[in-house]
Structure formats: C-alpha cells, structure tokens
Structure 1
Amino acid sequence: MPAAPDYPAASDRAPIKRALLSVSDKTGLVEAAKVLADLGVELVSTGGTKAAIAAAGLPVKDVSDLTGFPEMMDGRVKTLHPIVHGGLLGVRDAADHAKAMTDHGIGGIDLLYVNLYPFEATVAKGGDWAECVENIDIGGPAMIRSAAKNHGYVAVCTDPADMAEVIEALKTDGATSLDLRKRLAARAYARTAAYDAAISTWFAQQQEQTYPQRKAIAGTLIQTMRYGENPHQSAAFYAQGPARPGVANARQLQGKELSYNNIADTDAAFELVAEFDAPACVIVKHANPCGVATGDDLLSAYKRALECDPVSAFGGIVAVNRKLDRAAAEAIVEVFTEVVIAPDADDDAVAVFAAKKNLRLLVTGALPDAHSAGEVFRSVAGGFLVQSRDTTLIKPADLKIVTKRQPTQDEIRDMLFAFTIGKHVKSNAIVFARAGQTLGIGAGQMNRKDSARIAAIRAADFGLDLKGSACASEAFFPFADGLIQAAEAGATAVIQPGGSIRDEEVIAAADERGLAMAFTGIRVFRH
C-alpha cells in the first residue's frame, strides 16, 4: 500500500485558469462554456464537444494541441496521456510535482467537466453486444478519478448541476472552495462506481451469470426523507436499475412529500393491482392488502375493495390499474387516504383530488409487468440477500384437484383470484374471496389456523358472508386445523401449494366436509 507523501496542504480557494470539457450529454454545454470563457478560463475539449463550443464562436483548444497526439483508434485513445493526467493529478504546491510539470510541459487543469458515454441508455434501448461495448467509456472515468483524487486543486463535474455550482462559485470570487471540491469529488466517485456497476451487471447477464462472484448495486437519490420507518430513523429514497413503472418513476401531481412508509406501501399496492386484467382496485395498509376487488369499472372495483375492511382502509393506500376518472375519485376522497397511485388520471379526477391538499396523487404512465424478471434485495447484518422477483402465474391448467369433489368454474376463478392476492400478503397468509372480491384477509400470523380465524373474524365484522367462498393459503397446511377453520367459516373451495407430510390428512378433512381443493405445487411466501 503506498505511503501518503507529505504534501503541503491545499489552499481553500482554487482559481480556475484552464478547463477540460468532454461530454456526451451536451445539455447546457455552450452556456457553461460561454460563462467560463467570459471569466477568462482557457477551454480545452475533444471531438464533438469541441465542435459544439467552436460553433458557438468561443475559443477552444483541441486536447491534441496539448498532448501532441491526434485522436486515434476511432476515438478510443485521446485523453489517456501524461499531459492530461499530469495536468489533473499534479499537486501544485509539491516541489517535485511542480518540477515534473515544468520539465515535461504539463499545464495544470483546474476544472474537468465530463459526463460519460451513455452505456446505461444503450443497454436500456436494447443495444446489441457491439454497440453496448463501444459505449463503455474508458478515458472519461479515468479522468474523473484523477481529478477527484486531486480535489485539493481540481474541481470535477459529471453533470450540469455540478457545473452550475462551480459557475456560481466562480461568479462570486473566481475560485472554488475546498469544501465544494470535496463534495464534487464524492459525487464523481459515486458516478464512476455506478457506471462500473451497470457495466459489470450487463456483462454478467450476457454470460448468464445470475449470481456473479461480485455484485455491484448503484442507486440515484430521489429524495432525502424527514425520517424513516420511525421518527428516530433517517432515510432516503433511491432509484435503481432499469426503469419499471411504479413509485420510483411516478410523477406526483399533488400532495405533501411521500414518507418512507408511504413509498413501501404504495409499491406493495401497485405491484398487486398490476396482476389483474379487469378494472381493479387494491387498498393497502402497513404493506398488506386490506381489500382487493375487480369490477366493471374503477368505481365498482373501489367500492367492493372497501367493503372488505373499511376500518383498515382509513389512512391507507389506494392503487388502481386504469386511468382514474371523476366517479372513482369522488368515492376515494370520501375516506381519508394517504396515497393514490394509477397509470393516469383525467382532468376531472385531478380536480377532485385537488380539494384534498395532503392526499398524494401519483401517476406512472403504465403498469409494471407483474410477470417480468427482476431482482428483489433485502439487507441483513453484514450483507444482503438477492432473489428473483416472484413472477408466479397460476392458470386453471396448472391446478391439481386432489379432492373427490371437483370445483365449479366459479370456484376455480375464485381460487385463482384469492391465490394471486395471497402472493402479496405477509406470511402466514389466508385469503377468502368470491366473485372477484376479497371477503377476509388474515396476514402475518405465526400459525396458519390463526390467520384463517382472523380472516373469518374480519369478514364477520363487516357483514361479509363467507358461505360459498374460496380460501387461499400461500403455503401448505401443515395440519388440517387451518383448513377446518376455513370450512367452518363457509369456504367451499380451497387452494394451496400442497407438499406437507400431512397432505393426506388435510385432503381427508376436505373430503369429509365436501370441499373442493386444488394444489398449485408452488409456494408463494412473502416475509
């Protein structure tokens, strides 16, 4: 490990005499370059960036004028040169560095503005192997890292917002502060880390390495929150990975800032409502659905979802899978609701919500594909777990009927509806449903019998008759008691994964009570 040389301390204020600009995204480039030029800063640039600056009538040198070497190898080699990196890395107040710079004709570079080849965007648009590889920037990250390391003297910018901060500082007194340069350096290293994470992830995917030896994760800050799950916890919200319609990419039309719990609950609601083709509504409270229903339209779907548990719906999250209209909006605002999320909302619906200034209204432009591949992360002490997203889709043909009585078509429909919801309920989960409507949901209990009992109690509390309903269990019944509880509550059909050593006992209990029971062969735990 290199020992730290005894360099002189850098001064707080660092003037900018020379700037190197080389950007892929040229948003605001000319405006920034003009300000720098007006302040007497010498501009050095490359390729298309230089052409854009020159076209604006501003004086600009080509980097090859400094290095004495032309761009070569289709632009792959242009800034990888001691003149460039010496200008970025030279410690101005260290005598040996200053001598080396003088001896070799290396001029200092005081400001670096680089944003990288659009590798992430190339992957997102479906670029082929050759195109993606060609969009891996080499010189850019190398320069960014050099400039960030030498933040005692160099300001490094990787996006227009960084440049705006630097220009504001220069307008004030023609120099940048050490504190600003440190902040810029931290952002710069985060950017190159995220860039390398995207590249390493893509390479692993191309080699079909689902779980590579090293896994890098990067996120982009969306918001810093007032607090986390509880007021004594700090929190922030980051976007990560490919864009997926949902809360991270939603447009907030109104309402106060989302909280940590709002975001978690809204995500849970929107992922569930995306499972349904018919107009559907999901109401979530504390990460669990407390009412789910389909209907002829959103109004009927919302009213049916609310019937399941109108008490828990107070202060909950509402998600729908259609464009919100006035009728649905007017019904939703009758109950205190924290967040409403939808693919879109018409002007009349927006006007209705506007009267509830604290209600957050989010629109996403589309629904997430409930059955598309993806990853789910969870932190543990000293590490994290990663697994594939649960894309389970059970169809009638997948069901194995294990009882003497065969289910009716209506019962099959109800079983599949209930099992789909069970996939989104915290384990142990029991869901009673009939005709596209949840009637009772039991979540998060330590044994399945209690979940069934709670679900039945909830239904009774709100006057919902479970007679003729379907009951879904997201994992097998380890004993017959949970199934018996469901049958006594009124269920006539049961759906579960099967696979218990007591399956025969459970099947026998179902036969004794005249139930129809289907095994899915797939467990859908959610912890």
Structure 2
Amino acid sequence: MAIKRALVSVSDKTGITEFCRALAAQGVQIISTGGTHALLEREGVPVIGISDVTGFPEILDGRVKTLHPAVHSGLLAIRDSAEHVEAMEKLGLDYIDLVVVNLYPFKETVSKPDVSYEDAIENIDIGGPTMLRSAAKNHAFVSVVVDAGDYADVLAQIQASGDTTLETRKRLAAKVFRHTAAYDALISEYFAEQLGDPLPESLTFTYEKVQELRYGENPHQQAAFYRKPLAKKGPSITTAKQLHGKELSYNNINDANAALAIVSEFDEPAVVAIKHMNPCGVGIGADIDEAYVKAYESDPTSIFGGIVAANRTIDAKTADRLAQIFLEIIIAPDFTPEALEILSRKKNIRLLATGNEQATAAAERKPEWLVTSVDGGMLVQQSDVHSLDESDLQVVTERAPTAEELKQLLFAWKVVKHVKSNAILLAADSMTVGVGAGQMNRVGAARIAIEQAGDKAKGAVLASDAFFPMGDTVELAAQAGITAIIQPGGSVKDAESVAAANAAGIAMVVTGVRHFKH
C-alpha cells in the first residue's frame, strides 16, 4: 500500500523542507498547517493547507485546526475493513498515510527562568499528540514520524517500495507513545510544582537516555544512563562534560554522583575521594591543592582506584599530584590547559567538567525527588539537603567545645551525612581521619573509624549520623582520645552517653537532626 498523502506539522523544523521535497518528488501530497505550511510554500515545496482538507478555517489563534473528522477519519480508518471503507467513500473522506509531527516546545518553554504561567499553558500541544496517537494506533496502515532522526530511514523505504515496512511502523508507533507519555509527564510535573503537590495520587516520571552502559553493577546486569529533561541547577553528573578517558560505567556514575553531593556541601575549596559510594577521604583548605593533599592523606590506601571530586578548577600543581596514583575519575568545575595536558597522559582516566565553580551555596540548595525501586513499586523522598547552622547546636555536656573543636565538628557533620548508616566519622585539621560505614551496629562503625585513624584519633572529633542507643560508643571514643562529639540526640539513653562524655571530659553537642543513609 503506497503512501499517497502526508500530514506535516512541526515545531522543530530541522530537515523538514528537504524531507518534504523528497516526498513530493515521490508523488506524495503534502498537507500542512500554520508555520510549517508557510515554510514549505516559501521554499517551493508543493503543499496544501489543512483547511483545504477540513473545509474549516484554523480558528482560536490556531488552537483548533487539525481536530476534525476529516483528519482523524483519514488516520484511524482500517483500510481492509469494508465497513470503514464504505463510510469513508460515503462521506467523501480520504486517507492520510503518513504523519510527521513534533510538539509545541513545552520543555524548552518551562526551562526559561522567567516563564509565565500563561506562556507555559499556551505551549501545551493538543492537536499534535492527538494526531500522533491516532496515527500510532493505526500503525498497521499509517506511518508516523515524531523524530527528525527517522526521516532518512522512512524516506529510503518510501523511495524503494512506496511504503514503510510493518516492522518500521511498529517501531515508530512505539516511539510516539513514549514521546507523548514523556510530554504529558512533563506537563503533569509542571502542574504539581505550580500547585505545591509533589506527591499526587499517581506519579509519572520521564527521563531521556544519555547512553547505553556496558553493564550494571556487575557484568551480567543490563543498564543504561538517563537524565531528567529539565536540567538540575548546579554541578551534576548528568550535565558534566567528559573531557578525556573511557566511557563511564554504571558504578562510575553512581560514585561520581556521590562525590559531587559531598563536595557541594562546602563553600571553601574542598576535595572528596569516593570508594563504593562512601567517602574515604575529604579535605578542605586555603586552595584546591591543600584540600587534595588532606583528602589523600585521610586514607592513602583506599583512594587508589577511587573517584575524586573538587569544587574548584584543577590546576597544574594539583594535577601533578593526582597523576601519581591510579584514579577512575576526576570531576571538577574545570581543568586548566596545563592540568588537562598532564592528566590526559593517563589513557583511561575519565575527566569530567561540571562547568560550575560558583555552585549554589549549601544552605540554599533545594531538595530533589529521589526514587528508589522496590519489588513491584517505588519509594519517593526528598533528597537530604539539610544544612546545619551553628545556632542549631545544643551543648549537652559540662564542657562546651572549643572554637577549633566546633569548626571540626561542623566539618565532620557535613561529611557523615553522606556515609552509609550506621556511620561514624573522625575528623581533625579539616580532614577526615577515620570512616566507619554501613555497619550493623554503631560500636562496630566506631571501631573501624578509630582503627583507621590510628594515632590521628587522639585529639580528633567524632560525628555520628544517628543517636547513640547507649553509652558504649562514647566510652570507646574516650579510650581513643577523641575530644568532642556531634550527634543527633534523642535516644532514651542519652543521659548514659552524656555521663560517659562528662566522665572523659569530652564536649558533646546534639543537632536534633539525623542523617540515615541506607
């Protein structure tokens, strides 16, 4: 069955003139609307207006033009149904064999920082999705193209045989339903945001594929990387530009995301080293080189094969240090030309630039919605962007922390928030010196952190992501020479922990906020 008539109406006019000219050369009649009709006519492509088909003018500022039986009968008629054929002939209607439509730019419109509500609403397409869905439903007979990337293949098939294959039509129809579903999901998300109703009775998310991945966490698991259509503000792995190195893996992306989340906590120069989603070294300094030295010295063993994130441009001096060990990824706002040349000598290292050195201050960050899959469903929660202010702290021991201890406690609190629970973190001199992550009990986490710190535990401060259920962790900290503790408080046995701290001369402050991270 040859394609004889095509309905073309596109917002993104990339390649449409050439495509329609080639269709016309195959004897296909082109029907078009509004701006697309004007463009084709201006370019000398034979075209007729939609009103010539419907016998009805485009009205209401173009809101109504294709919503007409002459259009949708031509799209939905089953060509081998005697009843449908008879109805079409009786009413003098003709078939439409090809639909080429892309939709009003809703995503681009609402991405503008100053977009008005009225402008957003006006860019909700009605006729376009209706035509696409009609054509896709009747893909047994109708070809439908929503992506300019498919023009060449569709045209080649028409030139070869006069029609597309059924397999192609099925593929194009499936793409249409994904496209319209994503379009509607964005509109739904916009309304939810406008109404302050982020968790409605049904929830639909849409993501765009960035790349196929070789595998997931393990080689036997299939995986791909997707991003939200409306880009997150601030440094993000989804918008980072890869400057050098091998393709990112599933684990690389997860770890890089975790590293960015931690380094974004700091306004001062900071460097984070990540291993398996947990920080193995974090340091802040007067410049990015000092911050890296501290992050490295936090745990020179675990950083090997890890991922490093910085919140300042990497310079040549820091690049020389980074080049001395094996790292999977370095992610930073940018790299100086000298630093890029130094690090690019290492063939496989991935270098990612976020292009955003002046990131949103930690205290001003807005929460994102995080989705976690469970069998048969999902959990949705806000991201943990809580930022602790010094005024939020309550001293619960006889001794208050010194100014230096307080500085280290606030540093440790920013990092322990990102360590898998149960989490205990030791810090001194604006760097981590011991990290106990993901343990089944808090004493176990403390033992790991203290053992890792060794002699550096003496005089260090300790942060716990959740309260102490009893005094044993504090007693262990006292034995190691820790001088100050920050923890959420709220246990029925808080008094036991406070008593243990007082007995050891440890200063303890509570935050009233916990940071579980499973």
Code of the aligned partner of 1:113:
V
Matched, 1:353 2:340: no
SS at match of 1:92: coil
Is the CA contact (8 Å cut-off) linking 2:425 and 2:463 kept in structure 1? yes
Matched, 1:280 2:270: yes
Q: Which of 125, 131, 140 is residue 112 of structure 2 equivalent to?
A: 125
Q: In 2, distance between residues paired with 1:33 and 1:487?
A: 79
Alignment CA distance shift 1:169-1:342 (3 Å): farther
- Structure 2's unaligned 5+ residue stretches are none
Equivalence for 1:426? 420
Is the CA contact (8 Å cut-off) linking 1:326 and 1:348 kept in structure 2? yes
What is the root-mean-square deviation in Å for CA atoms of aligned residues? 1.6
Matched, 1:294 2:284: yes
- Structure 1's unaligned 5+ residue stretches are 1-13
Q: CA deviation at 1:326?
A: 2.0
Q: In 2, distance between residues paired with 1:102 and 1:330?
A: 78
Q: Which of 479, 484, 500 is residue 493 of structure 1 equivalent to?
A: 484
Q: Which digits, 9 at most, give the CA deviation of each residue in 1:341-384, with x for residues without a partner? A: 11222222222222122111111222664521211110011110
SS at match of 1:176: coil
Q: Which of 480, 493, 510 is residue 519 of structure 1 equivalent to?
A: 510
Alignment CA distance shift 1:354-1:175 (3 Å): farther
**More divergent stretch after superposition (271-280 vs 478-487):** 478-487
Alignment CA distance shift 1:168-1:323 (3 Å): farther
Q: Which of 163, 177, 189 is residue 189 of structure 1 equivalent to?
A: 177
Q: Which digits, 9 at most, give the CA deviation of each residue in 1:428-486, with x for residues without a partner? A: 111111222111111000111111110111122xxx61222111101011111112222
SS at match of 2:62: coil
Q: In 2, distance between residues paired with 1:119 and 1:345?
A: 35
Equivalence for 1:509? 500
Q: Which of 401, 405, 428 is residue 407 of structure 1 equivalent to?
A: 401
Q: CA deviation at 1:179?
A: 1.2
Q: CA deviation at 1:162?
A: 2.5
Code of the aligned partner of 2:271:
C
**More divergent stretch after superposition (388-397 vs 49-58):** 49-58
Q: Which digits, 9 at most, give the CA deviation of each residue in 1:146-180, with x for residues without a partner? A: 11111112221222113233234334444311111
Q: Which digits, 9 at most, give the CA deviation of each residue in 1:295-347, with x for residues without a partner? A: 22222211210111122111111111112222222221211111111122222
Q: In 2, distance between residues paired with 1:426 and 1:167?
A: 54
TM-score, normalisation: structure 1? 0.94
Q: CA deviation at 1:125?
A: 1.3
Is the CA contact (8 Å cut-off) linking 1:43 and 1:60 kept in structure 2? yes
Q: Which of 35, 39, 44 is residue 48 of structure 1 equivalent to?
A: 35
> Structure 2 matches for 1:367-378, cutoff 5 A?
369=360, 370=362, 371-378=365-372
Is the CA contact (8 Å cut-off) linking 1:113 and 1:163 kept in structure 2? no
Q: In 2, distance between residues paired with 1:163 and 1:470?
A: 63
Code of the aligned partner of 2:200:
P
SS at match of 1:253: strand
Equivalence for 2:382? 388
Code of the aligned partner of 2:464:
S
Equivalence for 2:11? 24
Is the CA contact (8 Å cut-off) linking 1:284 and 1:318 kept in structure 2? yes
Q: In 1, distance between residues paired with 2:84 and 2:350?
A: 57
Q: In 2, distance between residues paired with 1:156 and 1:364?
A: 38
Matched, 1:303 2:273: no
Q: In 2, distance between residues paired with 1:525 and 1:357?
A: 38
TM-score, normalisation: structure 2? 0.95
Q: Which digits, 9 at most, give the CA deviation of each residue in 1:69-121, with x for residues without a partner? A: 11111111111111111111122222222222222232222221211111122
Q: Which digits, 9 at most, give the CA deviation of each residue in 1:39-65, with x for residues without a partner? A: 332211111111122221211111111
Code of the aligned partner of 2:213:
M
> What is the count of residue pairs matched by the alignment?
511
Fraction of identical pairs, as percent: 52
Equivalence for 1:202? 190
Equivalence for 1:140? 128
Q: In 1, distance between residues paired with 2:292 and 2:152?
A: 47
Q: Which of 457, 460, 477 is residue 466 of structure 1 equivalent to?
A: 457
Code of the aligned partner of 1:413:
K
Q: In 1, distance between residues paired with 2:91 and 2:343?
A: 67
Q: In 2, distance between residues paired with 1:477 and 1:241?
A: 42
